[in-house]
Structures are given as C-alpha cells and as structure tokens.
C-alpha cells in the first residue's frame, strides 16, 4: 500500500479542545481554521469530521467535489477522504465535531453501529441541508454537546455520545426524505452495502461487474439493479469511479511518481494508466496533478 505524502491528521494533531483520550472534539467553528492553518492545504483525516454552518461563505472540497458553504447546512468528511477548505474574508459561524470510531468503542458502544447510519456512508458524501422543521432541533443538539463539554459531569462522554447519535440520526432523516430508496429497510440495501465494501477492498484487482456479482452470488443484471438503485450508476461505472477516486487521491500525493501510481493501481504500465485516466476524466494524470499543486 502506498504511503501518502500529503498530510494525514489524527485528532491529536489539531489545535482544539479534546476529550476522552483525544477521541472527540467539539467547538464553535469561529477561529477553528485560523488556529489550524495546516488544515487549509489538501489533507486527509483518520477520523470523522462534521461541520454545521449557521452562516458563512466559501467552499469545501471533499474527494475533488466542491461544495459551496451555505447557511444552515451540514458537511461531513469520512476517514481517508481528501479534503481542503477555502473561506471568504467573513469567517463562517457554526460548530465543528471531530470524532474517532474508537470514541464509541471506548464507551463500550460498538463503533459497528455507525454503519447503520446512512449519513455516514459514501453514497451520501458531501453536504446535507436540514428542513425548516429540523434546523432548530439540530442546532439545539449541538449546543447541548458544547455545554456538556464545558460543564462536564458524571458520564459526560457517554451523554455526548448519545447526543451525537441523535444528531446523526436526524441528519440521516434529511437524506432519507429526499432519497427514499436509501434506507436500511429497502430490499436491496444490505446487498449494496456489501457491494460498496467489496469494491473498497478489491477495486485494484477486480474491475468487472461479473467478478463482484460472483462474490455476492447474484447475477450481473441483479448487481446493476442494486447499484443503480442506490448510486444511480451501473455497477461497472461505480467500480470504475472508485478506481478513479483512488487514482486522484494518489496523484495529489506529490511524492509518488506516476509509474508508481500505475503499479499501485494494478495497471501494466504508466501508459495504460494514462490512457484510462484521460478517457474518463478528460485530463492526463500530469494535468490533473498540476491543477492541485500548491503555488
């Protein structure tokens, strides 16, 4: 596995108030970016990063997709995603939470429960807007978390965990209200989760839908239905996009040569990798890399 040269941060690398063995932090967003200037360049995290903006302007780029910062919106970044911020002169206002899955394990709450939360899954990356009915409720939960961190008390961390779960469930309901298919009750939900996990493990060596269909004991036709239901994409495109995402992540790892990246992604040589990348992005690997090089 390649070693990433762009920075990868743990919560302990942040200039922020941390609790429970550096496994979670929560604070007002004001000043967060200025106190952590190392976060403004392209980087990745080993933890979940959540931000709820009450107001502000600028943009947030997650895995090469740019989202405009807007009022009363919620942004989420999952471990391993490449990420950077750009803000206008007026600093954004909101609350930022960083937490490791181990936060729940330490409290004897299995981090496995996080996979039950649609808002934390790859199919819902990016930004979520709360309905008018739920904005006040969401903000109230976050303010309770802030107060609990400041005041402390018996089983304070456990109480904060329950509040965080409430917030994530409420955020997930915003997703479900706009995308009814993306619910744990859907007949194909478990199968898509399996497909998603398998592509995350095997996208380097297995690039054909039939290979995943065989592992899942379904037909290629059934796999296409499953993929389209949740991602909106045929299975082949979903697999290819996962490979392209990793290629982009590695290309902004400026310490790796392109032939190393081709080898890492199981291409026979840099030429074949370059043809593949240009066919589906419209840019050569060098052109993509140059677009993200720091000035």
Tell me the DSSP string of 243-291. HHHHHHHHHT-TTS-HHHHHHHTT-SSHHHHHHHHHHHHSS-HHHHHHH
The pLDDT score that the predictor gives to residue 131 is 86
Q: How do beta strands 8-9 and 43-45 pair?
A: parallel
Verdict on whether the full-model pTM lies above 0.85: no
Q: What is the SS3 assignment for 119-174?
A: HHCHHHCEEEECCHHHHHHHHHHHHHHHHHHHHCCCCHHHHHHHHHHHHHHHHHHH
Which phi-psi region, left, alpha or beta, contains residue 282 (left: φ > 0; alpha: ψ -120 to 50)? left
CATH superfamily placement of domain 189-292:
Homeodomain-like (1.10.10.60)
**Arithmetic mean of pLDDT, 148-173:** 89
pLDDT of residue 71: 82
Q: Which helix (H) or strand (E) covers residue 226, if one does?
A: helix 220-231
pLDDT band at residue 122 using 50, 70 and 90 as cut-offs: low
259 vs 273: CA distance, rounded Å: 9
Whether 8-178 and 189-292 share one fold: the answer is no
User: H/E element holding 176?
Assistant: helix 156-178
Nearest residue to 118 (alpha-carbon basis) of 74, 162, 169, 78: 169
Question: C-alpha angle with apex 33: 30 to 35, nearest 5 degrees?
Answer: 90
Name the least confident of 13-17, 71-75, 173-177, 276-280: 13-17
Identify the pLDDT of residue 90.
59
Neighbouring residues of 294: CB distance < 8 A, sequence distance ≥ 6: 41
Burial class (CB in 10 A: 0-12, 13-18, 19+), 134: middle
Q: What is the pLDDT of residue 280?
A: 96
Please state the rounded mean pLDDT for residues 34-46: 71
Per mean pLDDT, which range of 90-104, 156-170, 212-226, 242-256 is the poorest? 90-104
What is each CA distance from 152 to 28, 51, 167, in whole angstroms?
Answer: 17, 22, 19
- Does the pLDDT value for residue 2 go beyond 50? no
**Please, is 48 exposed, middle or buried when counting C-beta atoms within 10 Å of its C-beta (0-12, 13-18, 19+)?**
buried
Count of helices and strands (H, E) across the chain: 11, 10
Inter-residue contact 217 to 195 (CB < 8 Å): no
pLDDT tens-digit map of 162-197: 999 999 999 888 876 555 455 555 678 789 889 988
Domain boundaries, the chain: 8-178, 189-292
Question: Other CB atoms closer than 10 Å to residue 163's CB: what's the count?
Answer: 20
Q: Which two tokens stand for residue 90?
A: 């007026």
Mean pLDDT of the chain: 83
Q: Which of 97, 94, 98, 99 is nearest to 28 (CA)?
A: 94
Whether 128 shows a pLDDT value over 50: the answer reads yes
Q: State the Cα–Cα distance between residues 202 and 139, nearest whole angstrom.
A: 40
Determine whether domain 8-178 maps to CATH 2.60.120.280: yes
Mean pLDDT for 209-218 is: 97
The predicted model gives 276-292 an average pLDDT of 93
Mean pLDDT, range 235-249, rounded to an integer? 95
| Long-range Cβ contacts of 257-263 (<8 Å, 24+ apart) | 258/285, 258/286, 258/289, 260/2, 261/2, 261/285
Distance CA 107, CA 267 (A): 43
């Amino acid at each position: 596995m390649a070693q990433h040269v762009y920075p990868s941060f743990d919560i302990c690398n942040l200039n922020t108030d941390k609790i429970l063995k550096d496994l979670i932090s929560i604070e007002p967003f004001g000043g967060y970016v200025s106190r952590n200037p190392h976060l403004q360049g392209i980087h990745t995290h080993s933890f979940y990063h959540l931000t709820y903006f009450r107001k502000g302007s600028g943009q947030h780029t997650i895995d090469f997709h740019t989202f405009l910062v807007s009022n009363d919106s919620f942004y989420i970044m999952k471990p391993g995603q490449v990420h950077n911020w750009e803000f206008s002169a007026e600093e954004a206002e909101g609350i930022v939470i960083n937490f490791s899955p181990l936060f729940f394990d330490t409290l004897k709450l299995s981090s496995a429960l996080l996979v039950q939360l649609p808002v934390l899954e790859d199919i819902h990356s990016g930004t979520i807007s709360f309905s008018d009915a739920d904005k006040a409720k969401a903000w109230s939960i976050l303010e309770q978390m802030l107060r609990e961190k400041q005041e402390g008390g018996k089983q304070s961390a456990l109480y904060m965990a329950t509040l965080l779960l409430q917030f994530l469930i409420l955020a997930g309901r915003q997703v479900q209200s706009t995308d009814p298919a993306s619910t744990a009750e859907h007949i194909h939900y478990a199968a898509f989760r399996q497909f998603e996990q398998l592509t995350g493990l095997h996208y380097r060596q297995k690039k054909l839908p039939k290979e995943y269909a065989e592992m899942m004991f379904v037909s290629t036709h059934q796999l296409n239905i499953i993929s389209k239901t949740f991602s909106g994409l045929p299975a082949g495109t979903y697999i290819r996009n996962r490979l392209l995402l990793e290629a982009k992540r590695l290309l902004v790892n400026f310490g790796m040569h392109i032939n190393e990246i081709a080898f890492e992604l199981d291409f026979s040589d840099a030429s074949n990798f370059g043809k593949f990348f240009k066919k589906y992005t419209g840019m050569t690997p060098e052109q993509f890399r140059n677009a993200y090089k720091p000035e």
